[in-house]
């Protein structure tokens, strides 16, 4: 059964009340009904009833979604619109082929070594390809490339991927948990400091840490383009690794990876690869956001860095907010010595990255992002903290455009800094 | 199918990006919250009154129907393009033009979302009371066209109480002003009042002048849970008899409570017979006094529990629960026939009993909730249309409910309007003399019957 047919019951739950219009970040920018959840559900329903086909226009409509799930949270009937959009994209990709960016993503994800070589090349050639954004940690392209305009912000690519710098297993104390760290592509290739912080924090608690070198991309970028086979292949490889090591916990420090491993694997594999679905339930249940695990294990922030006074605020990544993970990061941030925590307006609204949404709808992505950046600036915070490297990249890029001198860090980085001797 | 030369003219009026005939857009503009669907031939998004005027002139000369639409969230089919034609979406006209803090007046474009205006005026210490449950996404233009209500109507009245003036484009393209910014005026017929609630059949609203009030100092939101619906109904009457007009007095029956119970934020125990959400607003000491008085009054009426929200966040949670009722009724049965009858307040217990009898008679689930404080009950008949005979039963139940309301001196619609949904029944309430003069008014405004045809009056 196709993914789309499998969500038919969900589609019928929509009563067209229009609540989603109040909350969809894309609709807020575009203002047209096909951009909002209610419209997308109507279009998906029309595909199933034969009223419309899987045509180019539909492909475009379905691409205008961040998969942020805000509509799902607010829907009085809990219609899982993000699942419906993913299912529609899968049907469209099968019928019309993947969009060119997702074709490239597929090639790269299937061949991990390309990413490694690519990262190395990019980091070596970086001074040629990029110019530094003054005063910031980011870069801009010197020449335009396909998919990317000159004004696009790039974070620095790490010269050595995170996975290449750590052993497979870091032994800890025998009475402490065995934790498998799922690093995720953004941390592995770009924001390696997040990974370093995660390891250092887990070590401080005596955990045995498993950092499998064979781990793959979580698959979210693939499925967000409708590429179900790549998603399932990646899931299979990751599940095999989880089964091999049988950790107590599987931690992620990337909100999107966490959602993929914990929610998408069981939900989607049930349709795509039922045998695999049966196996993944066990590991899915072990997936925890790193901040939550550290909170549960009783980590106490230290007072290194108490001298560096700063006003900090927290941006809730969509994929943490939806899983109800909003308190643990704030508990930590509110007790960091030397730091004053302020809540920004719209702290839970989407940063606008939407994974690959940003590629095809750059203008809209920027517009959504600028609202977030306005909230940040209005809050008076010097430092924005969040729990997703994707959000970090998007927000850092947006803030750099405003010229505001603000830093963006991951919760784990601040925590780790506070414990440095 | 829209003829090519008309499409070309529309493009020249609003620009190519603001008119579409693509099938996907037709699908997305074919529905509203009634779940009825009719495909239009074109959708157009004008940015100003002049464009609306040119569109209507064109439509009038070509005998094309035009269907004004805000958010498309109405409950009576008012914005549905039945019979085909051009959907005219007003949401690009979404500026708050001016908020006049000296005269307590706001001037807005029709596409402004109600909540957006409320936030803006409240920042300035002012207040726009009408609060339909859809306020976060419905537009002021739609609210005026349907004379929307909401929980606060019990104390503050409905939308028409706040409309001082309008700018309207008539079906022949003429742009007229009605009313003005003054608090009083009686020169010529009251066209403002006529347009308000005319459901988009007399003109397209392109500007609205609204009266504002000072923002009350504070409010207190209370939840009273009863073991029986009768107790809740008696409590409503008793509060008003006690000369307290709360700013809202909402009730939910047992089934409504169960439907929202699934939502983790619902504060109402699933086993309750009925619940009242009561809000009082005003000066702090008055609010405290009234809250205590209300508790005293309702204590003896099958009251299971009584709680006052301790802060704005808790109050908002209570309201979110109430707003979720209507859309979440789907859990009972997939299809909803949604009526909003009104009876004089003192007769609320009787109408509730009457509806229970009708439910028994047809053995079809009926869920009641809504604005008990002003006698406006949202009666929802939940059926599964795919089961043979259900739709017919529901229709008979609807007629019985209307009859019961009318017999108690009530009306068929408090807030949702007639649109398509109640059109087959209006002869139960309106006499031939009334219908005849209303149709004459329609003909005077719209001789070619191009603006939202087929609504309100059965053909």
Contacts of B28 in chain A (CB under 8 A): 32-34, 39, 42-43
Contacts of B334 in chain A (CB under 8 A): 12
Nearest CB to A31 within list B24, B91, B326 = B91
Please state, in angstroms and rounded to a whole number, the distance separating the CA atoms of residues A420 and A308: 13
Same domain, A285 and A315: no
- Binding-site residues on chain A for chain B (CB distance < 8 A): 12-13, 15-22, 31-34, 39, 42-43, 46, 51-52, 57-58, 61, 75-77
> Quick check: B73 and A17 CB within 8 A?
yes
> Quick check: A33 and B115 CB within 8 A?
no
Please state, for a pLDDT cut of 70, what percent of chain A lies above it. 92
Please state, in angstroms and rounded to a whole number, the distance separating the CA atoms of residues A34 and B134: 20
Same domain, A191 and A68: no
Element (H, E) at B275: strand B274-282
Same domain, A384 and A411: yes
- Final residue before a domain boundary, out of A155, A171, A197: A155
Q: What is the pLDDT along chain B (459 residues), one digit of tens a residue?
A: 889 999 999 999 999 999 999 999 999 999 999 989 999 999 999 999 999 999 999 999 999 999 999 999 999 999 999 999 999 999 999 999 999 999 999 999 999 999 999 999 999 999 999 999 999 999 999 999 999 999 999 999 999 999 999 999 999 999 999 999 999 999 999 999 999 999 999 999 999 999 999 999 999 999 999 998 888 988 998 999 999 999 999 999 888 888 887 665 666 787 888 999 999 999 999 999 999 999 999 998 889 999 899 888 888 888 877 777 877 787 788 888 889 999 998 888 899 889 999 999 999 999 999 899 999 999 999 999 889 999 899 999 999 999 999 999 999 999 999 999 999 999 999 999 999 999 999 999 999 999 999 999 987
What is the residue whose two structure tokens read 């205008």? Answer: A64
How many domains does chain A contain in total?
A: 4
CB A352 within 8 Å of CB A366:
yes
CA distance A415 to chain B (A): 30
> Quick check: A34 and B113 CB within 8 A?
no
CA distance A120 to chain B (A): 44
> Quick check: A34 and B24 CB within 8 A?
yes
Best mutation target among A17, A43, A72 (most B Cβ atoms within 10 Å) is: A17
Query: Which ranges in chain B are annotated with CATH 3.30.70.2190?
Result: 217-328
Best mutation target among B38, B40, B137 (most A Cβ atoms within 10 Å) is: B137
CB B225 within 8 Å of CB B302:
no
Query: Which ranges in chain B are annotated with CATH 3.30.465.10?
Result: 96-214
Contacts of B72 in chain A (CB under 8 A): 18, 33
> Quick check: B324 and A76 CB within 8 A?
yes
Q: Which residues of B17-45 are buried (b: 16+ CB within 10 A; e: fewer)?
A: ebbbbebbbbbbbbbbbbbbbbbbbbbbb
Nearest CB to B35 within list A16, A32, A77 = A16
Contacts of A35 in chain B (CB under 8 A): none
Chain B residue with the nearest C-alpha to that of A77: B328
**Chain B, window 80-99: residues with a beta carbon less than 8 angstroms from a chain A beta carbon:** 91-92
A411-419 helix and A327-334 helix, angle to the nearest 10 degrees:
30
Q: Give me A179's structure tokens.
A: 């934790």
Query: Which ranges in chain B are annotated with CATH 3.30.43.10?
Result: 4-89
In a domain, A113, yes or no: yes
One-character DSSP codes across A54-68: S-HHHHHHHHS----
One-character DSSP codes across A181-224: EE--HHHHHT-HHHHHHHHHHHHHTT-EEE--TT----SHHHHT
Contacts of A18 in chain B (CB under 8 A): 33, 71-73, 134, 137-138
Same domain, A257 and A371: no
Nearest CB to A42 within list B28, B91, B328 = B28
Q: How many helices (H) and strands (E) does chain A have?
A: 23, 12
Chain B residue with the nearest C-alpha to that of A37: B28
Contacts of A49 in chain B (CB under 8 A): none
Tens digits of per-residue pLDDT, A78-95?
899 999 999 999 999 999
Element (H, E) at B54: helix B49-62
Contacts of B328 in chain A (CB under 8 A): 76-77
Task: Please tell me the predicted confidence (pLDDT) of residue A367.
Answer: 96
Same domain, A215 and A264: yes
Same domain, A106 and A214: no
CA distances from B329 to B135, B254, B304 (A): 19, 12, 24
CB A163 within 8 Å of CB A214:
no
Task: Please tell me the predicted confidence (pLDDT) of residue A135.
Answer: 46
CB A18 within 8 Å of CB B8:
no
Same domain, A167 and A243: yes
Domain B332-434 CATH assignment equals 3.30.70.2740: yes
CB A384 within 8 Å of CB A395:
yes
Same domain, A188 and A205: yes
Task: Please tell me the predicted confidence (pLDDT) of residue B1.
Answer: 80
CATH number, domain of A401, equals: 3.40.50.10700
Please state, in angstroms and rounded to a whole number, the distance separating the CA atoms of residues B319 and B132: 12
> Quick check: A16 and B31 CB within 8 A?
yes
> Quick check: B327 and A43 CB within 8 A?
no
Nearest CB to B27 within list A22, A31, A46 = A46
Where residue A9 falls (left for φ over 0; alpha for ψ -120 to 50; beta otherwise) is alpha
DSSP state of B63: T
CB B368 within 8 Å of CB B380:
yes
Contacts of B113 in chain A (CB under 8 A): 22
Query: Which ranges in chain B are annotated with CATH 3.30.70.2740?
Result: 332-434
Question: Confidence class of residue A145 from pLDDT cuts 50, 70 and 90?
Answer: low
> Quick check: A52 and B27 CB within 8 A?
yes
Best mutation target among B18, B20, B23, B263 (most A Cβ atoms within 10 Å) is: B23
- Final residue before a domain boundary, out of A239, A268, A296: A296
> Quick check: B327 and A12 CB within 8 A?
no
Please state, in angstroms and rounded to a whole number, the distance separating the CA atoms of residues B159 and B50: 26
> Quick check: B28 and A76 CB within 8 A?
no
- Final residue before a domain boundary, out of A296, A322, A341: A296
Enclosing domain of residue A187: 162-296
Same domain, A220 and A185: yes
Task: Please tell me the predicted confidence (pLDDT) of residue A295.
Answer: 96
Nearest CB to B27 within list A17, A22, A51 = A51
Tell me, what's the ipTM? Answer: 0.93
Q: Give yes or no for B32 touching A (CB within 8 A).
A: yes
CATH number, domain of A80, equals: 1.10.1060.10
In a domain, A63, yes or no: yes
Same domain, A137 and A65: no
CA distance B192 to chain A (A): 28
Q: Which fold has domain B217-328?
A: Alpha-Beta Plaits (3.30.70)
In a domain, A302, yes or no: no
Which among B300, B169, B317 has a CA at the least distance from the CA of B238? B300
> Quick check: B327 and A15 CB within 8 A?
yes
One-character DSSP codes across A231-252: HHHHHHHHHHHHHHH--SEEEE
Please state, in angstroms and rounded to a whole number, the distance separating the CA atoms of residues A197 and A411: 9
Nearest CB to A22 within list B72, B137, B328 = B137
Same domain, A268 and A344: no
> Quick check: B71 and A18 CB within 8 A?
yes
Q: Give yes or no for B36 touching A (CB within 8 A).
A: no
Domain B96-214 CATH assignment equals 3.30.1490.20: no
pTM of the model: 0.93
CA distance A75 to chain B (A): 9
What count of other Cβ atoms lies within 10 Å of the Cβ of residue A228? 25
Question: Confidence class of residue A57 from pLDDT cuts 50, 70 and 90?
Answer: very high
Please state, in angstroms and rounded to a whole number, the distance separating the CA atoms of residues B328 and A236: 38
In a domain, A301, yes or no: no
Task: Please tell me the predicted confidence (pLDDT) of residue A123.
Answer: 66
Please state, in angstroms and rounded to a whole number, the distance separating the CA atoms of residues B414 and B186: 26
What is the residue whose two structure tokens read 């406006």? Answer: B376
Class of domain B4-89: alpha beta
Please state, in angstroms and rounded to a whole number, the distance separating the CA atoms of residues A207 and A217: 24
Q: Give yes or no for B27 touching A (CB within 8 A).
A: yes
CATH number, domain of A206, equals: 3.40.50
Contacts of A32 in chain B (CB under 8 A): 25, 28, 45
Q: What is the 3-state secondary structure (H, E, C) of B211-254?
A: ECEECCCEEEEEEEEECCHHHHHHHHHHHHHCCCCCCEEEEEEH
Q: Give yes or no for B243 touching A (CB within 8 A).
A: no
Residues contacting residue B91 through CB under 8 Å, at least 6 positions apart? A31, B45, B70, B71, B111, B139
Tens digits of per-residue pLDDT, B150-179?
999 999 999 999 999 999 999 999 999 999
Same domain, A25 and A69: yes
> Quick check: A34 and B28 CB within 8 A?
yes
């Amino acid at each position: 059964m196709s993914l789309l047919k499998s969500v038919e019951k969900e589609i019928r739950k929509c009563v067209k009340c229009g609540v989603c219009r109040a909350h969809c970040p894309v609709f807020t920018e575009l203002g047209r009904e096909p951009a909002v959840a209610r419209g997308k559900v109507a279009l998906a329903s029309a595909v199933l009833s034969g009223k419309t086909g899987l045509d180019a226009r539909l492909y475009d409509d379905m691409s205008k979604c961040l998969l942020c799930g805000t509509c799902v949270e607010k829907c009085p009937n809990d219609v899982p619109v993000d699942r419906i959009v993913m299912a529609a994209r899968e049907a469209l990709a099968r019928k019309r082929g993947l969009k060119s960016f997702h074709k490239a993503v597929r090639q790269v994800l299937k061949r991990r070594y390309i990413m490694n070589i690519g990262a190395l090349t990019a980091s070596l050639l970086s001074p040629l390809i990029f110019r530094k954004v003054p005063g910031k940690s980011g870069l801009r392209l010197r020449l335009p490339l396909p998919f990317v305009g000159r004004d696009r912000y790039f974070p620095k690519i790490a010269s050595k991927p995170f996975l290449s710098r750590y052993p497979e297993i870091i032994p800890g104390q025998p009475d402490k948990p065995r934790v498998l760290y799922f690093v995720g592509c953004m941390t592995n290739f770009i924001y390696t400091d997040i990974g370093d912080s995660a390891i250092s924090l887990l070590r401080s608690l005596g955990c045995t840490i498993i950092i499998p070198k064979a781990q793959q991309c979580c698959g979210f970028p693939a499925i967000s383009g409708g590429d179900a086979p790549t998603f399932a292949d990646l899931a299979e490889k990751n599940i095999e690794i989880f089964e091999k090591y049988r950790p107590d916990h599987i931690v992620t420090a990337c909100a999107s990876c966490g959602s993929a491993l914990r929610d998408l694997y069981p939900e989607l594999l049930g349709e795509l690869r039922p045998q695999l679905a049966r196996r993944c339930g066990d590991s899915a249940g072990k997936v925890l956001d790193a901040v939550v695990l550290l909170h549960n294990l009783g980590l106490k922030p230290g007072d290194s860095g108490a001298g560096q006074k700063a006003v900090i605020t927290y941006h809730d990544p969509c994929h943490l907010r939806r899983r109800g993970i909003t308190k643990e990061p704030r508990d930590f941030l509110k007790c960091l010595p030397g730091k004053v925590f302020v809540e920004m307006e719209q702290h839970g609204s989407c940063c606008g990255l939407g994974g690959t949404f940003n590629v095809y709808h750059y203008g809209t992505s920027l517009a959504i992002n600028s609202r977030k950046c306005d909230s940040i600036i209005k809050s008076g915070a010097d430092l924005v903290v969040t729990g997703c490297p994707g959000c970090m990249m998007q927000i850092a890029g947006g803030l750099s455009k405003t010229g505001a001198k603000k830093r963006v860090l991951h919760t784990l980085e601040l925590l780790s800094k506070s414990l440095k001797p | 199918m829209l003829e090519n030369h008309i499409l070309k003219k529309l493009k020249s009026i609003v620009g190519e990006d603001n008119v579409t005939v693509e099938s996907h857009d037709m699908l997305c503009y074919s529905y509203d919250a009634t779940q009825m669907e009719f495909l239009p031939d074109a959708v157009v998004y004008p940015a100003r009154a002049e464009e609306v005027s040119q569109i209507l002139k064109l439509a009038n000369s070509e005998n094309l129907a035009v269907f004004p639409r805000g958010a498309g969230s109405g409950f009576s089919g008012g914005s549905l393009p039945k019979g085909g034609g051009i959907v005219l979406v007003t949401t690009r006209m979404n500026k708050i033009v001016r908020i006049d803090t000296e005269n307590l007046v706001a001037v807005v474009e029709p596409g402004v979302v109600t909540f957006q205006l409320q936030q803006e005026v409240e920042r300035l210490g002012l207040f726009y009371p009408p609060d339909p449950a859809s306020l976060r996404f419905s537009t002021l233009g739609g609210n005026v066209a349907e004379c929307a209500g909401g929980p606060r109507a019990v104390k503050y009245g409905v939308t028409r109480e706040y409309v001082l003036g309008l700018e309207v484009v008539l079906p022949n393209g003429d742009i007229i002003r009605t009313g003005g910014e003054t608090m009083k005026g009686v020169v010529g017929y009251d066209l403002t009042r006529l347009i308000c609630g005319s459901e988009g059949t007399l003109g397209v609203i392109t500007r609205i002048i609204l009266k504002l009030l000072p923002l009350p100092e504070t409010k207190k939101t209370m939840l009273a849970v009863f073991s029986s619906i009768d107790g809740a109904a008696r409590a409503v009457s008793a509060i008003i008899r006690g000369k307290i007009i709360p700013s809202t007095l909402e009730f939910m029956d047992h089934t409504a409570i169960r439907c929202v119970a699934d939502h983790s934020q619902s504060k109402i125990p699933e086993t309750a017979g009925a619940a009242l959400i009561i809000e009082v607003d005003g000066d702090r000491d008055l609010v405290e006094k009234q809250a205590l008085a209300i508790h005293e009054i309702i204590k003896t009426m099958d009251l299971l529990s009584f709680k006052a929200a301790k802060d704005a966040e808790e109050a908002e949670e209570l309201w979110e629960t109430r707003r979720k009722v209507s859309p979440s009724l789907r859990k009972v049965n997939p299809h909803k026939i949604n009526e909003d009858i009104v009876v004089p307040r003192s007769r609320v217990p009787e109408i509730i009993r009457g509806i229970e009898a009708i439910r028994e008679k047809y053995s079809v689930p009926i869920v009641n909730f809504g604005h008990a404080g002003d006698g406006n009950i949202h009666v929802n008949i939940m059926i599964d249309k795919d089961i043979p005979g259900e739709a017919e039963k529901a229709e008979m139940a609807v007629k019985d409910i209307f009859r019961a309301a009318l017999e108690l001196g009530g009306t068929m619609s408090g807030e949702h309007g007639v649109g398509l949904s109640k059109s087959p029944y209006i002869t139960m309430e309106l006499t031939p003399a009334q219908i005849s003069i209303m149709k004459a008014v329609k003909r005077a405004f719209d001789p070619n019957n191009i603006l939202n045809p087929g609504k309100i009056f059965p053909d």
